[in-house]
Amino acid sequence: MKVLFICVENSCRSQIAEGFGRQFGLEADSAGVKAGPGVNPDAVKVMAESGIDLSKQFSKAIDSERLADYDAVISMCSVKTADFCPSTFIGTQANWSIEDPKDQPLEVFRRVRDEIKSKVEELAKTKVAK
């Protein structure tokens, strides 16, 4: 299954989802409404705790011409980022409404990481079972 995880800047949530997606056997990519300054160092740190290296990843903007290449496009938007939510992009199948951990303590990053891991793992299991 080829899946694209999207958020606002492609620096935290969607990068974490891409990392777990690959770990769980999905052909995963990530992107944002705009490319941020890079992958958030705290996202890199909490993913390293899970054995996943995001240090070579970089922020990318959504390429609307490639959306049709994906079996699923999943938004990470939370209520706080609704004004910037990319879930309006054609092809988005779901919005997981996950809190943006940007500028939050590591505990928030860990909680967000664990929530994303659970959702991506369930997605991978669902797609494998079909």
- In this prediction the pTM is 0.89
Both tokens of residue 19? 């990392």
5 strand-pairing partners = 30, 74
> Given a cut of 50, is residue 129 above it in pLDDT?
no
- Integer angstrom CA distances of residue 95 from 41, 72, 86, 101, 119: 24, 11, 9, 17, 11
pLDDT score for 130:
42
C-alpha radius of gyration, the chain, whole number: 13
pLDDT score for 94:
81
Q: Which of 13-17, 87-91, 93-97, 119-123 has the lowest mean pLDDT?
A: 87-91
On whether the CB atoms of residues 115 and 123 are closer than 8 A, the answer is no
Which CATH architecture does the domain made up of 2-124 adopt? 3-Layer(aba) Sandwich (3.40)
User: What are 101-125's pLDDT values in tens digits?
Assistant: 999 999 999 999 999 999 999 999 9
Q: Is 49 exposed, middle or buried (0-12, 13-18, 19+ CB in 10 A)?
A: exposed
On whether the CB atoms of residues 30 and 60 are closer than 8 A, the answer is yes
Helix (H, G, I), strand (E, B) or coil at 105: coil
pLDDT top residue among 47 and 72: 47
Distance between CA 119 and CA 96 in Å, rounded?
8
pLDDT top residue among 81 and 12: 12
Distance between CA 69 and CA 101 in Å, rounded?
29
Catalytic residues: 7, 77, 85
CA-nearest of 28, 25, 85 to 54 is 28
Structural domain boundaries of the chain?
2-124
